[in-house]
Each structure stands twice: as C-alpha cells, then as structure tokens.
Chain A
Amino acid sequence: MGFLDIDNVTKSYGAVKVLNETEISVEKGEFLVLVGPSGCGKSTLLNMIAGLESVTSGELRINGRRINEARPADRNIAMVFQSYALYPNMTVRGNISFGMEMHGIPKPEREKKIAAVAELLQITQLLDRKPGQLSGGQRQRVAMGRALTRDPDVFLFDEPLSNLDAKLRVDMRTEIKKLHAKLGTTIVYVTHDQIEALTLSTRIAVMFGGDVQQLGTPQEIYDNPANMFVAGFMGSPAMNLVPARLRNIGGVMSAEVTLATGTAITLPFPKASHLTQDDGREIILGIRPEALTDPEGASRDSQAIHQVDIPVDVIEPAGSDTFVTVSLGGKDAIGRFRAHTSARSGQPFPFAFDMEKAVAFDPVTEARLA
C-alpha cells in the first residue's frame, strides 16, 4: 500500500464511462505526472482525488484512510488550478490566508505562515496587491503559495503552466522542481505537455481514452514505451513509427525496411532475439529521431549502430540540431543530425541507425513486441 492509493477507481457520467478501472499507488514524496491529450481522463482523475468530482467505483486512500466521501477541505490536499483561481476581491495576503482562516487557524500563526511562504516564493513585496495587478508568473507563485500554507499530504496541480508564455513556463517548471526537491511533498500533476511530464516527474502515467496506457519512470516511458500511443505521444519530434518486417537470418534477427527507391534494407535487431519464430512477421519499427543520425553523431556506447545510405527528402535546420526527413517503409521519418551537416536534400547520405534504441510494435494490437 502506498501513500496515495488509487484503487480500481472508475468514473462514469450516466452511461458514459470516462475513466476505466485505474490502479496507481503513489509513494510518499513522489512526483506523479498524469499526462495525455485532452479528454483522456487525467483531469477527471485529479478532480476525484481533490474531491471535486465523486468516485463512481473503487477507492481512494491517503495514508491508508478512505477519502471517497470526505469533503475537499477534509482531505488535507492543496490544489493549484490552471487559471490559478485567485480570489479577485482579496489581496495576495487575503488569498493565501483564506484557507487557513477557514480551518480556524489563529491570526498570529497565519501571519507567520504567510510571511514564510512569501519569503520562499519571493512574493513578499506583492502581499498587499490584488490579483488583477499581478503578472501571470506572479499569479502562479501566489497560487502555489496559497497551496503551500496548507502543509498538505498531497499537492495537486492542474495544468498550472499552460497559461504562461513559453519562456516563463520553462522558468516556473524549474522552480516547481526545486520546490519539490526542497519540500519533498507528494505531488500529483496533470499536464498535456509531455516535456513537462518528462522533466518534472519521478513517475509518469500516460493516459488515453480513459485508460492508463503506461505507468513508469520517465526513462522507462521514453525508452520502452508500452505501445504505439505512448511512443507517439512522448518525445518531440515524435518517435518514427516505420512499417517493417522481421527477418530471421541464420538465427540472427533483423528488421527489413523498404526505402522509397524500392530497395529493402536489413537492420540487425538484437532486441528481437526472442522472436526467432516470427520470421516474416509485419511489425512497426519505432526509432526515435536521436537514434537516426549522421554517422558522426551516433551514440558511442551503442553496440548496434548500423549505417545505410538513404536519399534525403527535406532538411530543416533548427539551431542546435538539423532535422532530416527521409522515407522509410512508405512513411516520413525524421532523423536528428548535428547542426552543421553536409547532407543535401535529394542526395543520398549515410544514416546511422542505433538499433539498441529501436523498439518494435505489433501493427494490430499496437503493443510493444521488442
């Protein structure tokens, strides 16, 4: 049993089931990110933990205590909302103090808490302003400050950075991470941004269609996605999903990929060594852009670099990297080259496939095979 248990929880609105049986156990101090496209059930799950939506079936427990029926205020949680939800009629001080006031904390103690939190978040000079006079980043800090005063068992974040501009988002991301490191509170954090998920979390639950598709550390999710949805959703540019065929050549497994020219290339695929019975089986080969590079850019640690000349379709310089598009198995695939590459569009160029990083999926079930 973990610190926060999501035990077989479901949610239905009438006949519509928006969250299927979900089982997640969060340890104390963990930073769990629920990530997925809109409508995947992540916000519903968060709201259920907060007590803002009822639980259709299953049980929610914090520290072993069932909280399904507890009021939001009695769950000892705090929440930061997407819009920050600062009370516009109160000053920053009033906003931070309101929750403590509701819980009957005496004024001197409240003042002390406010001062400490304001110090921590560097908003002391803003305490007497109204939310309308604050910038987006400042509001974000106040919203976190309000949540912090509660000393909650669990901290809930509902897409807290999505209203900020790109630069501020990166700054605040770092700050949330620092805060977590400093305070060690258990956090459940909802976002649709896979980079936020990868950078912040200790564990990620990738959700889609009301189901948790995969639950794991950022590394596990990134390197070994459980299925094609996770593979496509996590990482940017997305993992290349290339139609291919398994080949058993004298007991050594390879993946065979057809180029635009019609020639087939054979890539040794040691990871598929448990599939020797499946010679000729159609698969979807998953290769991240950073595993499809110029030869000089290939990983030095990898034992399975395979080099092939392929005609280049499009070259897109992006500052630190250059993205190179080629046709693999009839699909566009993107490779990540170093900034100054000599590849030219229309001309063949040697590509290095890092087959240690490649994965394979079943085209029908979309589950990972290797």
Chain B
Amino acid sequence: MTLRPARLFLYLILAVFCVYYLLPLYVMLVNSLKPLSEITSGGMMALPGDWTTAAWTNAWSQAQVGVEATGLKPYFMNSFLMVVPAVAIATLMGALNGYVLTKWSFKGATVLFGLILFGCFIPFQIVLIPMARALGFLGLAGTVPGLIFVHIIYGISFSTLYFRNYYAAFPTELVRAAEIDGAGFFTIFWRIMLPNSGPIAVVCVIWLFTNIWNDFLFGASFADYDSQPMTVALNNLVQSSTGVKEYNVHFAGAIMAALPTLLVYIVAGRFFVRGLMSGSVKG
C-alpha cells in the first residue's frame, strides 16, 4: 500500500472526474424538472426550487416537433419500430455468416470477411446519395421499413464481425461430432451453435441497438416527418428557431432519447464494454 496522503489524492482526482462525467447528466436531469424561468434566471446548476414534471409531459406529448404539436412520443415509437426488426434481422444474419465463415469455410472466405468488415468503417456519407435513390426505387423512401433496411445492411458488417470472431474460438469438434450424429447445416446452427452463442448475441444486440437507436445521419437523410426517429425529432425540437427556447423541455426530451440506451448500459454494461472492445478485429 502507498502512503495515505497519496492515496487520498488519488481518490480525489477520481472523484473530480466522476463529477466531470456526471455533470451534464445532472444538468439535464435537474433542469428538466424545473420551470423555464428558473433556468433563464441563471440557476442552471441549482436544484429545482419548484419541482415539476411539466417539461416532461410537454416534451412527451405536446411539444411542437414537426408540423403538428405531437410531442416526441410518435418519434420514440418510430425508433422502436425501426430498432427491433433491424437488430433482430442483422443479428441473425451475422450469426449465420459467422457460422459459415468459421465452420464451413472455403477458399477466399477470409478475403470475403475482410470485404464485409470494411463496411463497418466506411463513412456513410459515401452511400447517402445512391441510397436515397435506391430507397426511392424500392418504394421505401421516407418510411420506417426503409430505415430498417438501411440499418440492416450496415449492421450486418458488425454482427458478422462479432459472430465470426466468437465462432472462430468455438470448438470445431462439436460441429464435427454433430455431423457424425447426422445433423445437417441448419440443424447444427439451431441446435448446437445458437444455444451456445448467448454472450456474443447479447453483445451484438446491445451494440446494434445502441448504434441504431442513436443514429442520426440516416434518420435525417431518409425519413419523412412521420417516420423520423427520436434523435432527429429531438434535434428538430432543440434547433427550431420559432418561439421561446424551452430549455427544460429540451432537456426532458434529451433524457427520453437517452433513456433506452442508458438502461441497456446499466443493465448489461459488461456486455456493452465487450462490444466496444471488439474494435480490435481479431477479438
């Protein structure tokens, strides 16, 4: 053990950084619970004098986001309608791809994997123009299914990466044993691989959920007013230049937009970190 004062200093530094990281969350939270006048009069750091959830109800169901004063609620729903199928399909496809790439590998599989992987890293600006046209061509422009489609395509690269690395370490003898037992390609996948993929499936689902929920670029580019996801709606709410700036409503909306991913992080933080770490390709 080091000397006590040094130790104390260490804890002090760590505590200061806790404050640094928590401060914006604190600001959002306390200010979403006070009347606007308390904020504009310079009391941003203070606890609410007059506790009120008015800003929350306002942000949820009354605020003027698009053309109509619907609040953020419909956009929150859009985000869910978009995230759930996109995550489910991208994860399943990634699992199948990882299974093929590791257990039924063929010549050139590594090259194909490398080409798939590059999709994780492209700046999406490079696909915006053709994708806008492609969605129009497919009749999906400005719709939630259109966004689902886009997120599946660019989510597959990640899910494939996760499952491929996980399955690479998965004992091949199990697959061989199942083959000898008479199980075919899909039976092995459903009965042997998937039931043993719990941890990586959680990592993958969390990663995709967070990324797709938090996406802004695709939502802003390809959604219509009635299909916008939460992030785009929140930005519209905050940036709208008409009328008084209702900071408390903005903060309430921001917390709403953050809540699902934050909950996931708190419940399954361990897996969240593992997903982040898989930035190194070999895993």
Contacts and interface: CB of A to CB of B under 8 A. Distances in A.
A104 B171 CA distance: 26
B179 interface: yes
B179 to A, nearest CB: 5
Interface of A: 50-52, 71-73, 77-79, 81-83, 85-89, 98-99, 102-103, 146
B181 A73 contact: yes
A141 to B, nearest CB: 15
B245 interface: no
Contacts of B173: 81-83, 85
A87 B182 contact: no
B133 interface: no
Contacts of A50: 176, 180
B24 interface: no
B187 interface: yes
Nearest to A99: B181
A88 B187 CA distance: 16
Contacts of B12: none
B180 A99 contact: yes
A86 B196 CA distance: 12
Contact of B181 (A52, A89, A98): A98
A78 B180 contact: yes
A288 B244 CA distance: 100
Interface in B140-183: 171, 173-174, 176-183
Contacts of B181: 73, 98-99, 102, 146
Contacts of B182: 72-73, 99, 102-103
B25 interface: no
A87 B178 CA distance: 9
Contacts of A79: 176-177, 180
Contacts of A85: 171, 173-174, 176-177
B192 interface: yes
Contact of B171 (A72, A83, A98, A103): A83
B124 to A, nearest CB: 38
Given A82-B173, A102-B183, A102-B187, A89 B178 contact: no
A77 B177 CA distance: 11
B176 A98 contact: no
A323 to B, nearest CB: 38
B174 A87 contact: yes
B115 to A, nearest CB: 23
A87 B180 CA distance: 13
Nearest to A80: B177
B72 to A, nearest CB: 42
Binding site of A, secondary structure by majority: helix, strand, loop or mixed? Answer: loop
A77 B180 contact: yes
Taking each of A77, A81, A82, which has the highest tally of chain B beta carbons within 10 Å of its own beta carbon?
A81
Q: What 3 A-B pairs have minimum CB-CB distances, sorted nearest first? A: A73-B182, A102-B182, A99-B181
Given A85-B171, A98-B181, 17 more contacts: A50-B176, A50-B180, A71-B179, A72-B179, A73-B181, A73-B183, A79-B176, A85-B173, A85-B176, A87-B192, A87-B196, A89-B192, A98-B178, A98-B183, A99-B182, A102-B181, A103-B182
8 contacts: A72-B176, A73-B182, A77-B180, A79-B176, A79-B177, A88-B174, A89-B192, A102-B187
**Residues of B in contact with A, size category:** 10 to 19
B176 A81 contact: yes
B49 interface: no
A73 B196 contact: no
Contact of B177 (A81, A89, A103): A81
Contacts of B5: none
B195 interface: yes
Nearest to A103: B182
Nearest to A149: B181
A81 B177 CA distance: 8
A132 to B, nearest CB: 11
Contacts of A52: 176, 179-180
A98 B174 CA distance: 12
B185 to A, nearest CB: 11
Nearest to B171: A83
Interface in B237-255: none
A98 B182 CA distance: 9
Nearest to B172: A85
A89 B180 contact: no
Taking each of B181, B182, B187, which has the highest tally of chain A beta carbons within 10 Å of its own beta carbon?
B181
A102 to B, nearest CB: 3
B177 A88 contact: no
A129 to B, nearest CB: 16
A78 B180 CA distance: 7
B108 to A, nearest CB: 14
Interface in B180-194: 180-183, 187, 191-192
B103 to A, nearest CB: 12
A268 B59 CA distance: 107
A82 B177 CA distance: 11
Contacts of A83: 171, 173
A165 B177 CA distance: 23
B192 A72 contact: no
Contacts of A81: 173, 176-177
Contacts of A98: 178, 181, 183, 191
Contacts of B171: 83, 85
A77 to B, nearest CB: 7
